[in-house]
Amino acid sequence: MCGIIAYTGHRPAVPAIIRGLKSLEYRGYDSAGLAFVHSGRLHLFRAAGKLQSLEQKLAGGEVLHATSGIGHTRWATHGLPNEVNAHPHLDVHLNLALVHNGIIENYQQLKTMLSDQGCTFRSETDSEVLVCLIAHALNHYGSILKALAWSMSQVHGSYAFALISKDHPGKVWAARKASPLVLGIGTGENFVASDIPAFLPFTREVVFLEDDELVEMDSGQWNVYQASILEHTLKKIHHIAWDVQAAQKGGYKHFMLKEIMEQPKVLTDCLAGRIDHKKNRIILEELEDMPVPSRVQVVACGTSYHAGLWGKYVLESLAGIPVNVEIASEFRYRSLIQEKDTLYLSISQSGETADTLAGQHMVREHGLPVLGLCNVLGSSVARGADRVLYTQAGPEISVASTKAMCSQLVMLYLLGLYFAQSKKNLDSRALNKYLSFLNELPDLLQAQLPQMQIRARELCSRYSRARSLFYVGRGIYFPLALEGALKLKEISYIHAQGYAAGELKHGPIALIEPDVPTFALALENDLLSKIKSNLMEIKARSGPVLALTNPGVELDADERWELPKVIDPLNSFLVLPALQLFAYEMAVYLGKDVDQPRNLAKSVTVE
Ligand code: M6R
């Protein structure tokens, strides 16, 4: 969590840092701050609350003239989200300033050790302990590089940090361990940041830093060292193909809405190059020579976990491969039962989710194969997996994940077809049918989205006073019910619970009342008659029902929301945006902060 950026170069640093922080605000927005060196001293600006509060505080000639500095946007872990705990943090002698993302797990021991040596602390943060530790080491080693290398060997936990020193204007040091950090290489200027959009308007050349790597840079040069042996490491420069617009709102009021509306393009991009129409085959070159697994174990969190649950239905029904799906924060602490020919599938939009990464590390330590399904190029999940399928959703900025899930579903569907094809489970007529529906999906969704938004807006006022909502579905729609409930909770703050419709009668039906409506996913498929019965049980207990359904389906509901009929499971690609739009319109109707919901951050890089 938290976003960090450092700049050194020829342009005014403060606007470049503020611009970068704006694009990192999705990582946390409890407080923000920046620091730079000017006229031989460190200047520090910090404010509680969103970046706007920091901007209002920036004043003074030095703000205009600084050409290097560091910035931070915080998602609080240690200490309240107030100004004192905001980053950057300074050492006792005001020589060094540091911004940090991650958690220093042994900060209490280090704090005690430093306090015993006379160090005093102003904040409650683990990050202040880190800068004081570096200052303490600098006293001893006399070189910042050596002080950093030693300090990195002393701290446990995860970090990405950037540091400046009053004695070395124009220089920046940065390092990472289990938290994201990328280096942006410009002409006469260099950047480090938690994520690429922070410097994308200035450069597209990036270097992905690995764990335990340490950067020293100024405007003209950058060097990466392996911290443990302080040896220079050669790094590859990658060119980023996507452009700045992809990470901007493009005329939409919110990133979330823009990202929902981008889903037709996401479908097209995910399918591009994946279907050999002449041979009627799925192409997943990344998996060439990989044997078809006997089992698949999915590890993921949040929306990516829901995508994994959806993938279970698809892989099992298309390819006949048993799939187990587990929440990463549970999986990582369980005993790993090694089953022959199991493929581990890490699903993550950001590729930086700490729990998913920990699960993936555990699997790799046992020498087992991991396939990453990931959206962010060069992210930790992508780099730590044996093979990667990139999901091609483009940058997702809104904290509530939308288009990333759409891209995950496409890739999981293609994976199911690919394994089915490899196992000869699918005759070419059936494959042809699926592929032609897939190809029609982007245009169909594009045509439907405007009406879907209108219907979502109409309905949300009716349900805005609900005390709580149930989202129910069966089969392939059960994971989507879970996702619909998650979307509503996280941005509208209305309590919602996703349930397998058939499970309601085993307890939760006790909660059904007139102010607890049910959002039912009742689309035409083999289980429709079953869910119809479940809805009658709800109606019999005075529970209002809103049914997402297809034209011509007869069922007992107070409100219908009709979507055109598409074959299963491709119906999901219409159902998902409907659920997203309902949550979006509800949050807008209730006046909530759609893109930056309270207490959340986009990538959860802490445990
Ligand atoms: O980047 P990841 O896909 O690994 O993130 C997983 C979850 O943190 C994420 O999906 C989260 O649940 C979103 N806020 C859901 O909208």
Cβ(126)–Cβ(107) below 8 Å:
yes
Residue of 331, 350, 380 with the most ligand 1 atoms within 8 Å of its CB, for mutation = 350
Cβ(244)–Cβ(200) below 8 Å:
yes
Res. 605: pLDDT tops 90 = no
Cβ(314)–Cβ(418) below 8 Å:
no
Residue of 304, 379, 402, 487 with the most ligand 1 atoms within 8 Å of its CB, for mutation = 304
Start-end of H helices in 107-143: 107-116, 126-141
- What CA–CA distance (Å, rounded) separates 301 from 327? 5
In this structure, CATH architecture of domain 3-243: 4-Layer Sandwich (3.60)
Paired strand residues for 483: none
Res. 84: pLDDT tops 90 = no
Res. 131: pLDDT tops 80 = yes
Condensed to tens digits (0 to 9), the pLDDT of residues 299-313 reads: 999 999 999 999 999
CA of 301 to the centre of ligand 1 (A): 6
Sheet of 3-8: strand order equals 41-48, 31-38, 68-74, 3-8, 190-193, 182-185, 205-208, 238-239
CA of 353 to the centre of ligand 1 (A): 8
State the closest ligand 1 atom to the C-alpha of 300, by its place in the atom list counted from 1. 4
Sign, Cα dihedral of 308, 392, 473, 531: negative
Type and span of the H or E element at 267: helix 263-271
How wide is the angle at C-alpha 32 spanned by C-alphas 26 and 37, nearest 5°?
125
CA of 405 to the centre of ligand 1 (A): 9
Give the start-to-end residue ranges of the domains of the chain.
3-243, 258-589
Q: How much is the pLDDT for 244?
A: 66
Which amino acid type is present at position 13? A
Residue of 195, 353, 396 with the most ligand 1 atoms within 8 Å of its CB, for mutation = 353
State the closest ligand 1 atom to the C-alpha of 350, by its place in the atom list counted from 1. 1
Res. 60: pLDDT tops 80 = no
Sign, Cα dihedral of 386, 389, 390, 391: negative
State the closest ligand 1 atom to the C-alpha of 303, by its place in the atom list counted from 1. 10
Task: Say what the pTM is.
Answer: 0.79
- What CA–CA distance (Å, rounded) separates 482 from 302? 10
Cis-peptide, bond into residue 88, ω within 30° of zero: yes
Q: Which CATH number, 3.90.1150.10, 3.10.129.10, 3.30.1300.10, 3.40.50.10490, labels domain 258-589?
A: 3.40.50.10490
Helix/strand/coil for 168: coil
pLDDT range class, residue 423, cuts 50, 70, 90? very high
Which has the higher per-residue pLDDT, 103 or 134? 134
List the structure tokens of 249: 């709102």
| Mean local confidence (pLDDT), 189-197 | 95
Residue nearest to atom 8 of ligand 1 (CA): 302
pLDDT range class, residue 555, cuts 50, 70, 90? very high
For the stretch 316-342, what's the b/e string if a residue is b when 16 or more beta carbons lie within 10 angstroms of its beta carbon? ebbbebebebbbbbebbeeebeeeeeb
CA of 349 to the centre of ligand 1 (A): 7
Res. 180: pLDDT tops 90 = no
Q: Which residues are catalytic?
A: 2, 602
CA of 141 to the centre of ligand 1 (A): 42
Question: Mean pLDDT in the chain?
Answer: 93
Residue nearest to atom 4 of ligand 1 (CA): 348
List the structure tokens of 153: 């060997």
pLDDT range class, residue 330, cuts 50, 70, 90? very high
CA of 409 to the centre of ligand 1 (A): 14
Condensed to tens digits (0 to 9), the pLDDT of residues 566-578 reads: 998 999 999 999 9
State the closest ligand 1 atom to the C-alpha of 402, by its place in the atom list counted from 1. 16
State the closest ligand 1 atom to the C-alpha of 602, by its place in the atom list counted from 1. 14
What are the C-alpha distances in Å from 414 to residues 1, 274, 297, 408, 525?
Answer: 32, 8, 17, 10, 21
Res. 158: pLDDT tops 90 = no
State the closest ligand 1 atom to the C-alpha of 302, by its place in the atom list counted from 1. 12
CA of 307 to the centre of ligand 1 (A): 11
> 68 Cβ partners below 8 Å, 6+ apart?
6, 7, 8, 9, 13, 36, 37, 164, 169, 170, 171, 172, 218, 219
Condensed to tens digits (0 to 9), the pLDDT of residues 221-265 reads: 999 999 999 999 999 999 988 766 666 788 899 999 999 999 999
CA-closest candidate to residue 125, choices 91, 77, 188, 68: 77
Start-end of H helices in 337-427: 354-365, 380-384, 403-422
| Mean local confidence (pLDDT), 538-559 | 94
Helix, strand, coil in percent for the chain, rounding step 5: 40, 25, 35
Cβ(51)–Cβ(229) below 8 Å:
no
Res. 509: pLDDT tops 70 = yes
Which amino acid type is present at position 303? T
- What CA–CA distance (Å, rounded) separates 390 from 370? 14
Residue nearest to atom 14 of ligand 1 (CA): 400
Helix/strand/coil for 348: strand
Cβ(18)–Cβ(197) below 8 Å:
no
Condensed to tens digits (0 to 9), the pLDDT of residues 331-354 reads: 999 988 888 899 999 999 999 899
What are the C-alpha distances in Å from 508 to residues 472, 513, 520, 541, 548?
Answer: 11, 11, 15, 12, 21
Burial classification of residue 122, based on how many CB atoms lie within 10 Å of its CB (0-12 exposed, 13-18 middle, 19 or more buried):
exposed
Ligand 1 pocket (Cβ < 6 Å) reads 301-304, 348-350, 353, 356, 399-401, 486, 490, 603-604
List the structure tokens of 558: 């107070």
The winner for highest mean pLDDT among 228-242, 269-283, 428-442, 543-557 is: 543-557
Cβ(473)–Cβ(500) below 8 Å:
yes
Residue of 29, 195, 256, 303 with the most ligand 1 atoms within 8 Å of its CB, for mutation = 303
- Strand spans (E) along 541-596: 545-549, 559-562
What are the C-alpha distances in Å from 420 to residues 228, 316, 416?
Answer: 47, 10, 6
Q: How much is the pLDDT for 327?
A: 97
CA of 545 to the centre of ligand 1 (A): 28
**Least confident segment among 86-100, 267-281, 299-313, 360-374:** 267-281
Q: How much is the pLDDT for 119?
A: 92
Residue nearest to atom 11 of ligand 1 (CA): 302
| Mean local confidence (pLDDT), 264-293 | 92
Paired strand residues for 72: 4, 33
> 337 Cβ partners below 8 Å, 6+ apart?
none
| Mean local confidence (pLDDT), 79-106 | 91
List the structure tokens of 139: 């006293």
Res. 134: pLDDT tops 80 = yes
The residue count for the chain = 607
- Residue 119 is classified by DSSP as -
Residue nearest to atom 9 of ligand 1 (CA): 302
